Chains A and B, each alone.
Chain A
Amino acid sequence: MTLTEPAIADSEAASGAGGVAAPESSDEVAAAPSILAQPFVTSDAATVGRLFVLTSLLLGVGTSVVGVLLSLGRTEAVAPWDLFGGFNAYFRMWTLYRMSFMLLVVMPLLLGVALAVVPSQVGAGNVAFPRAALASFWSWLIGAVIIVVSVFAGGGWGAIDGVTGNESDAMALTLLGTGMVIVALLLGAVTVATTVISLRQTGMSLLDVPPFSWSMLVAAAVWLFTLPVAVANIVVIYADLRGRPAIAFGRAESPDIWLQLDWLVEQPAVYIMAVPVLGIAVEAVGATVGARSSRPEAITVIVGLFGLLAVGGWSQDYFTAPQDLRDGLVYVAFGLAAVLPLVALAGGAAELVLRGTKTPDRLLDVRMLGAGAALKLLGAAALVGALRVIEPLDLLETTATWAVFHGVVVAGLIAGVVAARNWSHELLIGPLSVVVGRGAVALLLGGGGLLVLSDLISGFLADAPDLMALSLDGSAVLNVVAFAGSILVAVGAAAAALGAVSALRAPLVAEGDAT
């Protein structure tokens, strides 16, 4: 199956359990739900995917604005705790920024793209469990609202300056929301993975599956291995937090709750967000220059290897001495090895460019620029990750941790822009404007690059472990650079969200424009 072929309906998709048959009579067509009712009753995965994409992009704008405020707090213009109204409030926003970028922005964004694109790529009429996909979206959204509301009500993932009043109850609510969001993402991942495994066209082996669908299968498998571990953490924390008094795991007055969950946003688990980015980048480059890889099986292996190196449930340092885990051979090997698949994939993408049509308009296409930018940021993140695990460099408990994080999440955002441009048909939106697309990619690349660079250099300059970058001396200029980077990311995210929303009203992309 070529990338440009139309979706081939698979009868099994419609007749399988949970599948929804296409309307057969005019009566059924006439009974279609109204546009307002559609988000609540639709069994069309493309619609669910679009809901995920749009909502996560909007949440991305909010999250990046929180990032701007946090970066402003890192400059010497104002003390961070004064900006937010206290140590605990600063800590709440600091943790919300990280959790939100991962669970409320990048992962749902890529899951939404997958729900819309994967069925047509594998020749299925719909995803395996369309109603589960819809349930996944709504439970994710409700969980996201619970998280945001509870954090602003004094909850969050622990505190650093004691708790007052009902903050402990609000924290329980935050944990509930986090668990809901994770379970919802897992439900969506099961839906996508089952579609690829069970509903792909007859005769299409797993090695023949297009790179994005394969990367989503790998990502779903990695999510299923990693995210349930976080759910287990949450169960233990919640049980303790609701006890009287908390014994160890759920102490609301300390940052212990965050310390049991922070492995999720640190390497190697942070790379679980990036697996689909590889598939999007390869497909976007291939579609832009009109070439296919001469060694597709190599791409399959590379994506699989990167997924394997992203499995991270084992890397929790809360339950053991951090140095025992992080100086260990496995942790170091995972950190160093993560660079290799990205280098290999960049080679694969370069091969596509060499084999394809290299006209200036193609080379400057949003998809090409975006794929290059996403791979560059991801590569930079993995490179910093490799430096971070080299023990003599002393980068482990420094802001270098967030250089990796920022590289991965901004690469994920750029991949979302590329996907919106590449698969307009499947996402049921009009073509993302070229100007908006190029602008968003440039802003996100610039902002992400500044964040990665400033976080890395700040890490080198740090005299002592300082994950929150609160020791301002010596890195004031870098904190200003990080502030500028945050602004660029926020503007880029806003441009991407506005572009997607405005594309909703535009006519569907012309035949042949999207592939």
Chain B
Amino acid sequence: MRTTALPAAEATRPRTVVVGALLATGAVFMAFAALVAVYVQQRQMSRATGQEWFPEGSVELGPAGMMMMTLVLSMVTVQWAVQAARDEDRPHGFIALGVTLMFGAAVINQFWFVYQDTAFAIDGGRAELLFYVVTGSFIAMLISGMAMLAVTTIRSLMGPFGRDLAHGVQAAGAYWHMCVLCYFLVWYVIFITK
């Protein structure tokens, strides 16, 4: 058999939904990174003039560390959901989705605790304003990630399976990972370096 006469294998193209989601995810990350950059620059400027950024002891590391741990765990469960959608495995898919959404809700709950604990007023000064802008934007991103994940996973697992639907879960998973990366920035910039 002359193998040279065989037709060339069809080139594989990146999956449309995943590519589109990755581009959009990159744009969201750029916006969030810009917010963090404004925060860091303003804090640096404030400290350069000898001013205090946050009052000593007002921002605790404990709850923030718990949120980081929670989100790291959610990275595992979101990949579990992605793999379940790929394998057309309904029971594992729903369990993974449920656990991931629970982790997301837990982080929002912990942020609520942080807000109560710090008791900052949004118009209290630049530090407080930017604290709420950065963390509020993160919460909005997290909620949108939870919604994307729920919709794509349920669409994938409830109806007939299809390649594109599993790709949707994969796209939502990529967005989720970006959210966790953004929280890492928040954790380091706001809660660790304060």
A residues apposed to B, CB below 8 Å: 12, 16-19, 128-129, 132, 186-187, 190-191, 193-194, 197-200, 202-203, 220, 224-225, 227-229, 231-233, 235-236, 239-240, 243-245, 247-249, 313, 319-320
Contact of A239 with B20 in the complex, beta carbons under 8 Å: no
Q: Which residues of A contact B122 (CB under 8 A)?
A: 239, 243
Between A and B, 8 residue pairs with Cβ closer than 8 Å are A12-B13, A17-B16, A128-B16, A190-B20, A190-B23, A190-B24, A239-B136, A313-B30
Contact of B35 with A236 in the complex, beta carbons under 8 Å: yes
A247 and B24 in contact, given A17-B167, A197-B19 (Cβ under 8 angstroms): no
Contact of B16 with A229 in the complex, beta carbons under 8 Å: no
Query: Could you say which of A12, A194, A203, A243 contacts B20, with CB atoms under 8 Å apart?
Result: A194
Q: Chain B CB within 10 Å — which of A19, A194, A197, A220 has the most?
A: A194
Size of interface on B: residues with Cβ below 8 Å to A: 38
Give 14 new A-B contacts, CB below 8 A, not counting A235-B35, A239-B132.
Answer: A187-B24, A194-B16, A200-B13, A225-B30, A228-B31, A229-B31, A232-B30, A233-B34, A236-B35, A239-B122, A240-B129, A248-B126, A313-B30, A313-B34
Q: Which residues of A contact B29 (CB under 8 A)?
A: 228
Contact of B137 with A235 in the complex, beta carbons under 8 Å: yes
Contact of A197 with B14 in the complex, beta carbons under 8 Å: yes
Residues 11-32 (chain B) with a chain A CB within 8 angstroms: 11, 13-17, 19-20, 23-24, 26-32
For the complex, what is the distance from the CA of A180 to the CA of B60, rounded to whole Å?
Answer: 36
For the complex, what is the distance from the CA of A245 to the CA of B167, rounded to whole Å?
Answer: 46
Q: Chain A CB within 10 Å — which of B19, B29, B45 has the most?
A: B19
Q: Which residues of B contact A225 (CB under 8 A)?
A: 26, 30
B residues apposed to A, CB below 8 Å: 8, 10-11, 13-17, 19-20, 23-24, 26-32, 34-35, 38, 41-42, 45, 122-123, 125-126, 129-130, 132-133, 136-137, 164, 167-168
Q: Which residues of B contact A239 (CB under 8 A)?
A: 122, 129, 132-133, 136
For the complex, what is the distance from the CA of A313 to the CA of B33, rounded to whole Å?
Answer: 11
Q: Which residues of A contact B41 (CB under 8 A)?
A: 319-320
Contact of B129 with A243 in the complex, beta carbons under 8 Å: yes
How many A-B pairs have beta carbons closer than 8 Å: the answer is: 108
Q: Which residues of B contact A197 (CB under 8 A)?
A: 14, 19
The closest CB in chain B to the CB of A199 belongs to B16
For the complex, what is the distance from the CA of A119 to the CA of B30, rounded to whole Å?
Answer: 27
User: Closest Cβ of chain B: how far from A325's Cβ, in Å?
Assistant: 11
Contact of B125 with A247 in the complex, beta carbons under 8 Å: yes
6 A-B pairs with least C-beta separation: A232-B34, A228-B31, A228-B30, A229-B34, A194-B20, A16-B16
User: Closest Cβ of chain B: how far from A131's Cβ, in Å?
Assistant: 12
Q: Which residues of B contact A320 (CB under 8 A)?
A: 41
User: Closest Cβ of chain B: how far from A13's Cβ, in Å?
Assistant: 9
Q: Which residues of B contact A224 (CB under 8 A)?
A: 23, 26-27, 30
The closest CB in chain B to the CB of A245 belongs to B123
The closest CB in chain B to the CB of A226 belongs to B30
Contact of B23 with A243 in the complex, beta carbons under 8 Å: no
Q: Which residues of B contact A220 (CB under 8 A)?
A: 23
For the complex, what is the distance from the CA of A19 to the CA of B164, rounded to whole Å?
Answer: 11
Contact of A12 with B16 in the complex, beta carbons under 8 Å: yes
Q: Which residues of B contact A244 (CB under 8 A)?
A: 123
Query: Could you say which of A186, A199, A249 contacts B27, with CB atoms under 8 Å apart?
Result: A186
The closest CB in chain B to the CB of A240 belongs to B129
Q: Which residues of A contact B164 (CB under 8 A)?
A: 16-17
For the complex, what is the distance from the CA of A12 to the CA of B32, rounded to whole Å?
Answer: 33
Contact of B13 with A243 in the complex, beta carbons under 8 Å: no
For the complex, what is the distance from the CA of A18 to the CA of B11, rounded to whole Å?
Answer: 22
User: Closest Cβ of chain B: how far from A14's Cβ, in Å?
Assistant: 11
Query: Could you say which of B16, B45, B130 contacts A198, with CB atoms under 8 Å apart?
Result: B16
User: Closest Cβ of chain B: how far from A314's Cβ, in Å?
Assistant: 9
The closest CB in chain B to the CB of A319 belongs to B41
Q: Which residues of B contact A132 (CB under 8 A)?
A: 20
Contact of A247 with B126 in the complex, beta carbons under 8 Å: yes
Q: Which residues of A contact B34 (CB under 8 A)?
A: 228-229, 231-233, 313
Q: Which residues of B contact A191 (CB under 8 A)?
A: 20
The closest CB in chain A to the CB of B29 belongs to A228
The closest CB in chain B to the CB of A239 belongs to B133
For the complex, what is the distance from the CA of A328 to the CA of B22, rounded to whole Å?
Answer: 33
Q: Which residues of B contact A248 (CB under 8 A)?
A: 126, 129
A235 and B10 in contact, given A16-B16, A16-B17, A128-B20 (Cβ under 8 angstroms): no
User: Closest Cβ of chain A: how far from B35's Cβ, in Å?
Assistant: 5
User: Closest Cβ of chain B: how far from A180's Cβ, in Å?
Assistant: 14
User: Closest Cβ of chain A: how far from B168's Cβ, in Å?
Assistant: 7
The closest CB in chain A to the CB of B28 belongs to A228
